[in-house]
Structure 1
Amino acid sequence: MNLKREEQRLVLEGKIYSSETIDQLSELKDSTPSPFLKELYLFLKDWFAPSPYITVQTSGSTGVPKQLTVLKEQMMQSARLTCEFLQLEAGDTALLCMPLQYIAGKMVVVRALVAGLNLILRTPSGHPLANINFPLKFAAMVPLQVYNSLQIPEEKECLSQIKNLIIGGGAIDATLEKEISQLPNMIYSTYGMTETLSHIALRRLNGAKPSAHYHPFSSVDLSLSPDNTLIINAPLVCCTKLITNDVAEIFEDGTFIILGRKDNIINSGGIKIQIEKVEQLLQPIIPVNFAITSRVDERLGEAITLLIEQTFILETIKEKIKKILPKYQQPKEIVIVKEIPFTGSGKIDRAACRLLANKSKTKI
């Protein structure tokens, strides 16, 4: 692993670029119509700049996106942890198909720099494997990219040939996880956030020993706050302890599960309901994009509201909901929306969902 920035080289589709030659990437943009290549060039300019710091942006899934200033040294340590765990070596092919404005995309590049990986560039889209006809050693994707790839036979074959695939940026529902479990390669769900510079724990989704629990890196120490939210002590990637908004359960062997976000709890008539738990239960019966949120209610304080993208046999869905959910978890209203709002990193935009629920006049 090369942790000296001044000595690092980026191998991009077989061609080597150093801090002295990355300007060639800027020249390539005139002959290659790829704004994504320009984004990569700008990130590398920032990376090789003398400053030990770099600015990263949060996803904004629960509020307004914010910018954080982080140490490049800590980003390299995060990259080292992942590359060592997955046993990635110099020359291994790694796919970059994540937006570079967020930490997930940036960290794919940093892993390539630290481990000497051969970076394969694909503009972020719902089908990142559409034009790849060779095996990859490493890739990082969001759940939607994996789901879409599984629907196309050629892309599914390519997906199954990625030696190490990590999936982050959103929840993996039971149906998708079941499909993933049948694939022969090594696939992991990740847990982390911008503040931890990508993931600090992984959960194996397939193979002989799939797990329902996340396994933290050995350098990470976890505990719970009085509100049962996860506290992360990861000195290699965070300067201070991080008190998260993720409600968790930690087990005796050090593994953990995430139950949902503290700020995704709806207090309806004094009963606390975890949004993610309700969505997980509804997933098998709603075949379109949807989200559980709340609206202001004079009697209950907050009323559970289901946002759904289209009118899909709503009466049938209502009856199924009554059978699946206890009364206190059942949506008081269903709101039809043109589309469920998502953040740029592929997560449900919870703040925007609440606004839709409270402003919409199309309620059932």
Structure 2
Amino acid sequence: MTRALNVLGSDRPGDILLALRAALAGGGPAVVPRDPAAKRGRWPEPGATVAQNVALVIETSGSTGSPKRVALSTDALLASAAASAGAMGGQGQWILALPAHYVAGAQVLVRSIAAETEPLIYGGGHFDPVAFAGLAAELTSDLRYVSLVPVQLARLLTAVENGAREVADALRRFDGILVGGQALNGRVRERAAAVGARILGTYGSSETAGGCVYDGTPIGATVVREVDGGLEIAGPTLAEGYLGHPARTQGTFHEADGQRWYRTGDVGRVDAEGRVVVLGRADNVIISGGEKVLLDAVERAVRLLDGYEHAVVVAEDDAEWGQVPVVVTEDVAAAGVERAELAAVREFVAERVGRAAAPSRIVVLPHLPMLSSGKPDRVRVARAVTDSRRNGEA
């Protein structure tokens, strides 16, 4: 048994909601939410179908250069929604503030369908804290939720700190604010706590139907284990695999100990109490002067410094050391932010991560290239670093 595919632009979230409702009920085609700005290519061909149990196909952003089409079943999506509700205190009403072509955005719609509540849709364009606060004031359910990426949360907190009381009131209205997509800066979490916002840092991916670990704790029936320093995940929310890539599916998902496991590609550990600590991507490790350096760890350290809260750290080839970390950040001169110079940044990172992790230079861009999800576009960031070296910038 198979079902057809329904490709919808994520600028039509209302249509995606209706299509998902039909897909989850079993009668409609599988939904493929797509970034309207993305190049469609030749997929899907006219008449293409997927397995009957597949309700949603997420095309990954390819932020690291390798896009995939992740097939998610009805069972996986509803298991994720149920696990999320259990972890957050019950089902409620959501605001959709993320693009629906990303799993975090699509899951807001799935959770709304499972809860039988009507989501409020923020819409596209620049994320405006005051407009968001106005929408939050329209929530009517007893339990109110939203899913954000760190840059959105940071903008809301900055607005509060600049005197926007309506934004502070809006943040406190939520019974849970999921924040995922990338590591949540500890200082941002502290700022959120000071406002009274209830933050849950999430970990997961399209392959796990979205966040499956909240604040380090696996939710629902999710199981996380450490294998040779890498994290693997099992549970009912796992994807069916990658459409059109059986070899990639077999290399990423495997059977062991009576369960099906997903190799996340992340470095991390699971402590004796089952708490998950994610250290970074396994493919984001460089060898600098003969020592392993985890660029995600360097980035976390740099983001603790004033003016570097959204900095990105990438690798650059070096004739002496092999590869070295480079900090890429936005120009904040117009905002009057005083930012540490390279020597101070190097010392700060060396004390926390090790001398080999000290960044070799800082590249300042007018604006950091971003994906529509709010994540940094690391491919374009790395290209900007290469271009800056070619142009002879320090």
Q: Which residue of 2 aligns with 1:321?
A: 345
Matched residue, 1:126: 127
Shift of 1:104: 0.7
The answer to whether the 8 Å contact 1:225/1:243 transfers is: no
8 A Cα contact 1:169 1:347, kept in partner: yes
Equivalent in 50, 57, 60 of residue 58 of structure 1: 60
Instruction: State whether residues 70 and 239 of structure 2, in contact with CA within 8 Å, keep that contact through their aligned partners in structure 1.
Output: no
Shift in Å, 1:243: 0.8
How far apart are the structure 2 equivalents of 1:98 and 1:216? 23
Structure 2 equivalent of residue 223 of structure 1: 225
> Which one-letter code corresponds to 2:393 in the other structure?
K
Letter of the structure 1 residue corresponding to residue 374 of structure 2:
G
Alpha-carbon separation, structure 1, partners of 2:13 and 2:227: 40
Is this contact kept in 2: 1:336–1:362, CA < 8 A? no
Distance 2:296 2:280 in 1: 6
TM norm structure 1: 0.79
The total of aligned residue pairs comes to: 319
Of 255, 259, 281, the match for 2:279: 259
- Give the distance between the partners of 2:340 and 2:77, measured in 1 at CA: 49
Q: 1:285, CA displacement in angstroms?
A: 2.7
Distance 2:306 2:190 in 1: 17
Partner of 1:282: 302
Verify: 1:358 aligned to 2:392, yes or no: no
Look up the match of 1:74: 76
Alignment partners' CA distance in 2, 1:314 and 1:299: 32
Which ranges in structure 2 are unaligned for 5 or more consecutive residues?
1-7, 30-51, 241-259
Matching residue of 1:167: 179
Distance in 2, Cα, partners of 1:182 & 1:314: 23
Q: Which of residues 149, 161, 178 in structure 1 aligns to 2:156?
A: 149
Which residue is equivalent to 2:86? 84
User: CA shift at 1:356, angstroms?
Assistant: 2.1
Q: Provide the alpha-carbon RMSD of the alignment.
A: 2.6
Residues 101-143 of structure 1 show CA distances to partners (whole Å, capped at 9, x for unaligned) of: 1111111111111121231121145236242224561111111
One-letter code aligned to 2:366: K
Shift of 1:316: 4.7
- CA distance in structure 2 between the partners assigned to 1:344 and 1:315 by the alignment: 27
Q: 2:342, 2:361 within 8 Å by CA — same for their partners in 1?
A: no
Instruction: Decide whether the 8 Å contact of 1:58 with 1:65 is kept in 2.
Output: yes
Structure 2 distance, partners of 1:305, 1:108, is: 35
Q: What is the CA–CA distance in structure 2 between the aligned matches of 1:216 and 1:262, rounded to whole Å? A: 21
Identify which range, 71-80 or 229-238, moves more after superposition. 229-238
> Is residue 139 of structure 1 aligned with residue 118 of structure 2?
no
Would you say the 8 A contact 1:86–1:164 is kept in 2?
yes
Deviates more, 1:233-242 or 1:146-155: 233-242
CA contact (8 A) 2:212 2:219 kept: yes
Which secondary structure does the structure 1 equivalent of 2:108 belong to?
helix
Q: Given the superposition, is the C-alpha separation of residues 119 and 175 from structure 1 closer, same or farther in structure 2, using an over 3 Å criterion? A: same
Q: Provide the C-alpha distance between the structure 1 equivalents of 2:392 and 2:235, rounded to a whole number of angstroms.
A: 46
* 2:331 maps to which of 310, 319, 323: 310
Match of 2:244 in 1: none
Q: Does the C-alpha gap of structure 1 residues 236 and 195 become closer, same or farther in structure 2, counting only changes over 3 Å?
A: closer
Distance 1:167 1:352 in 2: 24
* Aligned-pair CA distance for 1:71: 1.0
Q: CA deviation at 1:46?
A: 5.4
C-alpha deviation, 1:311, in angstroms: 7.5
Query: Closer, same or farther in 2 for the Cα pair 1:322/1:299, shift >3 Å?
Result: closer
Q: Deviations over 1:126-165 (max 9, x none)?
A: 2362422245611111112212122132112101111122
